[in-house]
Amino acid sequence: MLKTNRGRFFEDYSIGQVIDHAVPRTVSGGERALYHALYPARHALYSSDQFARACGLPSAPLDDLAAFHLVFGKTVPDVSLNAVANLGYAAGRWLGPVYVGDTLRSQSEVIGLKQNSNGKTGVVYVRTQGKNQHNMVVLEYVRWVMVRKRNHNADAPKTVIPQLDTTLLPTQLHVPQGLDFSRYDFAQAGEPHRWSDYQIGEKIDHIDGVTIEDAEHMMATRLWQNTAKVHFDATVRPDGKRLIYGGHVMSLARALSFNGLANAQMIVGLNAGVHANPCFGGDTVRAWSEVLDKAEIVAPGIGALRLRLVATKGCAPFELRGQDGKYHADTLLDLDYWALIPS
């Protein structure tokens, strides 16, 4: 009997299949410290217990994207070990803060399948939930992945493509219990800009850049227990390069966005996300944002901004697509999300 795990192939998935992922992870202060060391993360709500308590929380939670990476990483051996590409995200909601001492586990349900015309790969859609030790869902999202077939002659499954909302409504956003920005300390947060200072259509160049180092990336990806071969083994790709985990680019871009969006404290919704082009060690990541929408929130002193966050590796700010409508070759990430900000 084969003892090692070669991962699932396209024909191993079926609609309605539920996968309980190994291994549960108890969060310590180490994850938060390493997250802030690996990324230039500076948002006050996640940096200071005192600041978080003044905003109505019991202590500073784990950064939203760190929680995402922990939940995501557990799914890799079952969902994307044999993936060709991680194609996109949608319908993501943060449903509760993650604190030191919480134990996270992940569960996914297959909600869509489509074999590609080449007969060698197919697209698998999964809805993943991250749950804590109380069986409370703290995070959920949908992603779709192109996965290799084990047997190219295997019959194609019935095509099922899930209908997903293009954006979450403001009423679908979860505000953590007790969160209150009515006494928000702008001086300690680092910028004076509040919800009313941002206008729909406004674009912000976050100015700074970070050059990716392979060693830092591999340390981060191991931290999230992401076991995808392409991130570690330089012999997997024909070009001999290690592919940078897309979530690493997400966290770098989010951290860079502090310059201009320091008060966009909590990510509460992920409308859509695309890893437009591959990223490799030595690339310098820069970021810009666009305000897509605004919404009032029924919570003290809180508003919501719908933001597009774009990460690039060389093109000028605010360039996204070429004349052919395709993403610019230097566009790495196109992320559409909701964030909470003092009103």
pLDDT in tens, 221-236: 999 998 888 888 888 8
Strand partners, 274: 334
Give buried/exposed letters for 175-202 (b at 16+ CB in 10 A, else e): bbeebbbeebeeeebebebbbeebeeee
pLDDT digits (tens, 9 = 90+) for 78-109: 998 888 888 899 999 999 999 999 999 999 99
Whether the predicted model's global pTM rises above the 0.85 cut: yes
Structure-token pair, residue 184 = 């928000």
Measure the CA–CA gap between 310 and 257, rounded to whole angstroms.
Answer: 10
Measure the CA–CA gap between 329 and 339, rounded to whole angstroms.
Answer: 28
- Taking 90 as the threshold, does the pLDDT of residue 248 lie above it? yes
For 3-27, what is the mean pLDDT? 94
- Taking 80 as the threshold, does the pLDDT of residue 55 lie above it? yes
Measure the CA–CA gap between 54 and 68, rounded to whole angstroms.
Answer: 25
Structure-token pair, residue 221 = 């990806």
Residues ≥6 apart with Cβ < 8 Å to 280: 212, 241, 242, 243, 244
- Taking 80 as the threshold, does the pLDDT of residue 315 lie above it? no
For 47-74, what is the mean pLDDT? 97
Q: What is the mean pLDDT of the chain?
A: 94
For 115-132, what is the mean pLDDT? 96
CATH number of this structure's domain 18-150+168-342, picked from the four choices 3.10.129.10, 3.40.640.10, 3.30.300.20, 3.20.20.10: 3.10.129.10
At 7 the pLDDT is 87
Q: Are 320 and 340 in contact (CB under 8 A)?
A: no
**How many CA atoms lie within 13 Å of 305's alpha carbon, on the beta-carbon side?**
27
Q: Are 328 and 315 in contact (CB under 8 A)?
A: yes
At 312 the pLDDT is 97
- Taking 80 as the threshold, does the pLDDT of residue 148 lie above it? yes
Q: Where are the domains of the chain?
A: 18-150+168-342
